[in-house]
Amino acid sequence: MSAPSPSPTYGGYLELPELLELQHPLAAPAVHDELLFITVQQACELWFKQMLAELTDARDLMVDGDAYRARKRLERCVRVERVLTEQFDVLDTMEPQDFAGFRGALGKGNGGQSAQFWEITLLSGRKDRRFLDRPWYTEDERKRLQRRFNEHSLWDGFLAVLRRAGFPTQHRDQRFAAYHRIAARGAEHHALWELAEALVSHDQAWCLWQARHLMNVHRQIGAKQGTGGSSGASFLEAQQRARFYPELWDLRTGL
């Protein structure tokens, strides 16, 4: 009989030796704040990974008709998005002169190249083929993004929940009739209203995170061109104006 496997240590379970070796400042001479920048960006990607797990499950739960657990997943994502937003408070302690000291080490890299950012965008409901074909993606990233484009989005999941509740969703006027009945907040459709509000909260929190990102960019580089030839602040402004669920926002006008 083989000996039982030893219980993992805290560091072993979290693979901390490997994790803590993944921060490699490149500027020469060294700039103190480069480690801070790398740490915050890597933390963002870890939170993006968690969000993709939560949003994927929320979508699947809605497709299966489970509005309650789908709402709980969305509410968790909103809290993650708040954490992401608050991380810019840490980056704001970095002065623009210090960022300029290592900015060149980024080369052509910029945050708009984050495949997980675009995965979240596609999964949430903004389907645009322009998000799929960017020269910096790895082959694995291209496949992931194509899969997200092809599969059901959170919006598709929400419409599936509406159909299960007996609402037709083929045409816009049918959907708005459903939204208005749900917005009456009767006991029969209370769970659907709460789910719709959770989608709006996710949409809002994502926009607020992008707005906070935009302010940080203005603080660090002003109106300069972004790294890698990106348009910098103007790119972020365009993304911030987009909405995942425009119909749920338009509903407010008629209430």
Which structural domains are found in the chain, ordered by start? 29-113+153-254 (1.20.58.480)
Q: What is the per-residue pLDDT for 107?
A: 86
| pLDDT exceeds cutoff 60 at 3 | yes
As a whole number, mean pLDDT of residues 195-208 equals: 97
DSSP assignments along 222-236, one per residue = TTPPPGGG--THHHH
Among 5-19, 165-179, 223-237, name the one with the lowest average pLDDT. 223-237
Q: What is the per-residue pLDDT for 228?
A: 54
As a whole number, mean pLDDT of residues 204-218 equals: 93
Sign of the C-alpha dihedral computed for residues 110, 231, 141 and 13 taken in this order: positive
The mean pLDDT value of the chain amounts to 92
DSSP H helices, the chain, are 10-13, 16-19, 34-63, 67-91, 96-102, 115-124, 139-150, 154-164, 172-183, 190-221, 233-241, 246-250
Q: Report pLDDT digits (tens) over 39-72.
A: 999 999 999 999 999 999 999 999 999 999 999 9
Q: How many CA atoms lie within 13 A of 171 on its CB side?
A: 3
For residue 225, name the pLDDT band (cuts at 50, 70, 90).
low
Q: What is the per-residue pLDDT for 182?
A: 96
Q: What is the per-residue pLDDT for 233?
A: 60
Residue 17's Cβ-count burial label (10 Å; 0-12, 13-18, 19+) is exposed
Q: Report pLDDT digits (tens) over 122-174.
A: 999 999 988 888 889 999 999 999 999 999 999 999 999 999 999 999 999 99
